[in-house]
Amino acid sequence: MSADPVHAISALTEQLTRLPGIRTASELFAGHPPYAVDAPLRPLFQRGGLPRGEILAITGEHSFSLALAACAAATREQLWCAVLGMGEPAVAGIADFGIDLSHFVNLRTPLQDWLRVTSILVESFDILIVRPGFAPTPGDRQRLLAKVRERRMTLITLDEFPGTGERLGVRDVRWEGTARGAGRLEQCTVTVHGSRTGTHTLLLPAPSGRAEHPAPMPGAEHSVPAVGVAHPGGPVPRIHSVD
């Protein structure tokens, strides 16, 4: 190899791009563009969106809400998201996060079957949200990760999972809106720690129902508005649930 590292890498890249199936150097070294997320969630991810070809772990008592919020923008771009093993989530709450319910499927599957079903669904969906029912063997885990990479999709697990890329931990969940048992819940402030991006504070949900930045302290800059889709009027939204 040449003594000049830059020249050596350039020469290697040029050779590789001539191989069948490899078109550009950027495909080799930059990876795949992430799936879009709403603006308040972008700082949580290393590349500003859901990593493709990776398993993403989101943990904590509010992990499902964060996972749903992270999928919203992708469903509005006509990508398909499925949730596995979470029972019957509230349809209105899912819609409030900005999710396009016409591209969202809930699957009622026994936890003992999660790995088999997930391995099948990886072939068909762009994003999967899964609560693992048990810890897979190292061999099963590697086969699942290989499928995720091959499909260039995103698998979100709501539990610690060896072999994950990015990890988000939801901490310090604080609901607001009630006082001494009176009133109604209005918003929830959470702290999210990203393994690659540090610590962030979010409203999840904000009064709008979606994820937003907290209001700035007096004298600070205005908060960044959330990006989402409202569902005014029209037919009552429905969710696809499959046994």
Mean pLDDT, residues 216-226 taken together: 52
Please state the pTM of the whole predicted model: 0.76
- Residue 24 reports pLDDT greater than 50: no
% residues pLDDT > 70 (the chain): 74
In 3D space, the residue among 141, 133, 155, 130 whose CA is nearest the CA of residue 56 turns out to be: 155
- What's the CATH fold of domain 33-168? Rossmann fold (3.40.50)
DSSP assigned state of 41: G
**Separation between Cα atoms, residue 41 and residue 61, nearest integer Å:** 18
What is the spatial distance between Cα 91 and Cα 186, in angstroms, rounded to a whole number? 18
The tokens of 14 are what? 């040029």
Lowest-pLDDT range, 8-22, 47-61, 64-78, 101-115? 8-22
What confidence score (pLDDT) does residue 158 get?
95
In percent, the amount of the chain with pLDDT more than 90 equals 56
CB within 8 Å of 201: residues ≥ 6 apart: 189, 190, 191, 192, 214
Higher pLDDT: 25 or 8? It is 8
Residue 81 scores a pLDDT above 60: yes
Residues with Cβ within 8 Å of 141's Cβ and at least 6 positions away in sequence, in order, are 161, 162, 163
Question: CATH 3.40.50.300 spans which residues of the chain?
Answer: 33-168
Q: Which two tokens stand for residue 178?
A: 């009630």
Strands ordered across the beta sheet of 182-194? 198-203, 182-194, 167-179, 54-59, 154-157, 127-130, 81-84, 104-107, 240-242
